[in-house]
Chain A
Amino acid sequence: MGAKVRVVERKGRTFLEHLYLVEVAKGMFVTLGHFFRNLMDNSRLYVRHYPEVQPEIPSRWRGRHRLTKHDDGTVKCVACFMCQTNCPSNCIMIEAGERHDDKSEKLPVRFDIDLLECIYCGYCVEACPMDAIRMDTGIFSVTSDNRGSMVIGLEELLDTPGAFEEQEYQKGAR
């Protein structure tokens, strides 16, 4: 015999506990306490008054994606397809084109992300060798009334600013 057998004492077998009534009464007074505390002063509810009071989003939180730019405003993305290859839910669709601004040889002419497919895992951010795609927009609520508008393109990705200071983001990323 290898492992020692430890017998755990079983709870809930006494007569009083089998009656249920005592335990039921105990439980009911716990909930009644909560009820009266909240009834007497409803500012003590553990509730965020959501649409008016927004949650605080930390810099490491993965929100909707964006594409970053160089200081001169050109696209950082080099259309290497790393993110698309790495994406577990196949939500990224890149189409590469020739680039003539001496930054690199390629640039994306199409960069679509299907937000209905995306699982917000952040693998695209980790795979990117150019730090071109980030999930630091702080956008947590992505809603629409039709499927078409849930696929966002290059323009929208490029135009969305990051929600955090560069320093703050680097602290979170590394």
Chain B
Amino acid sequence: MSALDLLMILLRIAFGAFVPLSFVAVLVWMERRGAGFFQDRAGPNRCNFMGFRAAGLIQNLADGVKLIFKEDVVPGHIKHKFYFILAPMLVFFTAMLCFAVIPFADVLTIGGRDYVMQAVPMDIGILWFLAIVGFGVYGIILAGWSSHNKYGVLGGLRAAAQVISYEIPMGLALVSLLAIYGTVNLTEMAQYQGQLLFGFIPMWGVFLQPLGVIIFIIAAFAETNRTPFDLAEGESEIVAGFHIEYSAMKFALFFLGEYVAMFVSSALIVTLYFGSYQIPWLATETLVAHAKAVVIMLMLVTPVITYFFTGWIKKNNRSHYHRPNDPRVREANVYRVLLWMAVVLLEVVLIGYLIFAAGGAADRIIVALLQVVTFLVKTTMMCFVYIWVRWTLPRFRYDQLQKIGWEKLMPLALLNIFITSAVIVSFG
């Protein structure tokens, strides 16, 4: 095992472990500011560090500090402390583990060796995901049961019933997808989506399985216990459901687990249906062959995007009332200078690449980085859909939830399997 092998293993594991964690901060921020904007209010925007509010991201720091320093209460009536403490860990770790099999770039070939860009390069792919994500609900049931609280038990039961009902349409939607891709390996699925359908449509899952994608997304919402299927914690009926007895960091683990699960299931939806890391019409080999042109395009596009972005910052990052020497304007100026410095740095790096390193392994690394960025952008957009849905739709009634799962989604998924297999059999 060479030093490069070790480095790649470390890099992939670091990506698999830290990207979901850092996205929790981004998602909580997106959720709160997004909720604000959806409801015509501002969201948390006051918390600052020496006057820098980072568009409200500093609020996350404050929340984290609060959760760490709160008293960690274990109520006296709890008999099974071990399970009580195990439950939030289970929720969090299963959510984290799911991300291990999701590819974030195409297979990277350096020095004649192939590196599969997953945290854990396994062939079982989607099966691993199904196994682990089903395990996540054990944490919720365990939390509800060991809380020894009627609301907790009700929340746990609801979560259990819901996940059981929605894993079936989810699995059935996957069956027809697997019939098309002919593999369970997520990297191979992503490579399959780099082709073109009829020569001009990217062969994404969403174009091959328009019904399947709807079923899968709905089931994924239910799996992650997000609105409109968040009956497990329905505040208005059972207060907070399974995490009613939890406080401080144990509650924070549930919270983190929920957002990691949301990120991971967005990543999976993107991987299965929205082309994973593929940039539409630009397959990996095309990108590698024209790496120089791609880099030059990048060098031209980044300043344009930055120009509009800094303009947006200048327009919006100011006080909307009379304030002498507005500190927010000064803050915005600092952001703009920092952004332009980052752009200049990027340009210097890219020029360095063009002069010294063009051709060979550097091409492949640049393409892989581009694909990582594409994957993360797509995943962020899918997470935005989660947030968008949460702040638009009210919660379903419990019988409606079960009815949709069993009477609507399951027959639709079966129909989808028949149609798909008929098409596959007749057109080969």
A residues with a Cβ closer than 8 A to B are 20-21, 24, 27-28, 30-32, 34-35, 38-43, 45-47, 49, 52-53
- With contacts A35-B388, A41-B315, A49-B320 taken as known, whether A27 is within 8 angstroms of B393 at the C-beta atoms is yes
Contact A49 B40 (CB under 8 A): no
State the Cβ distance, A20 to closest chain B Cβ, in Å: 8
| A53 CB contact (under 8 Å) in B42, B214, B321 | B321
Chain B interface residues (CB < 8 Å from chain A): 34, 36-42, 214, 312, 315-316, 319-321, 323, 388-389, 391-393, 404
Determine the residue in chain B with the shortest Cβ distance to A19: B408
Given A35-B37, A41-B315, A45-B42, 9 other A-B residues pairs in contact with their CB atoms under 8 A: A21-B214, A27-B392, A27-B393, A28-B392, A38-B40, A40-B312, A42-B320, A47-B41, A53-B321
Q: Closest chain B residue to A39 by CB distance? A: B37
- Of the candidates A20, A32, A42, the one whose C-beta lies within 8 Å of that of B42 is A42
Q: Are B389 and A28 in contact (CB under 8 A)?
A: yes
Assess whether A52 is in contact with B392, with CB atoms less than 8 Å apart: no
**Residues B40 and A45 in contact, CB atoms below 8 Å apart:** yes
Chain B nearest CB from A80 CB (Å) reads: 46
Q: List 14 A-B contacts (CB under 8 A).
A: A20-B404, A24-B393, A30-B392, A38-B36, A38-B37, A41-B316, A42-B37, A42-B316, A45-B37, A46-B41, A47-B41, A47-B42, A49-B320, A49-B321
> Which residue of chain B is the closest to A43 with respect to CB atoms?
B320
The A-B contact count (CB < 8 A) is: 54
Contact A34 B37 (CB under 8 A): yes
Closest-CB distance, A6 to chain B (whole angstroms): 28
Nearest Cβ on chain A to B216's Cβ, whole angstroms: 14
Instruction: Specify which chain B residues have a CB less than 8 angstroms from the CB of A27 in the assembled complex.
Output: 392-393
**4 A-B pairs with the lowest CB-CB distances in the bound complex, closest first:** A38-B37, A31-B392, A46-B40, A35-B37
> Which of B214, B316, B321, B388 sits near A31, CB closer than 8 Å?
B388
Nearest neighbor of A46 in chain B, beta-carbon distance? B40
B384–chain A nearest beta-carbon distance, Å: 9
Asked, given contacts A21-B214, A42-B316, A45-B41, whether A52 binds B321 with beta carbons under 8 Å apart, the answer is yes
- Taken together as a complex, chains A and B put the C-alpha atoms of A170 and B357 apart, in Å, by 83
Neighbouring A residues of B389 by C-beta, 8 Å: 28
B41-A52 in contact (CB<8A): no
Which residue of chain B has its CB nearest to the CB of A23? B393
Q: Which residue of B lies closest to A32 (CB)?
A: B388
Report A-chain residues with C-beta under 8 Å of the C-beta of B391: 31
Q: How far is the CA of A18 from the CA of B34 in the complex (A)?
A: 29
* Distance between Cα atoms of A40 and B313 in the complex (Å): 10
A49 with B319, Cβ < 8 A, contacts A31-B392, A38-B40 known: yes
- Of all chain A residues, the one with the shortest Cβ separation from B385 is A28
Q: In the complex, what's the smallest C-beta–C-beta distance from B382 to chain A, in angstroms?
A: 14
Known: A24-B393, A28-B388, A28-B389. A34 touches B38 (CB 8 A): yes
CA distance A38 to B312 in the complex (A): 12
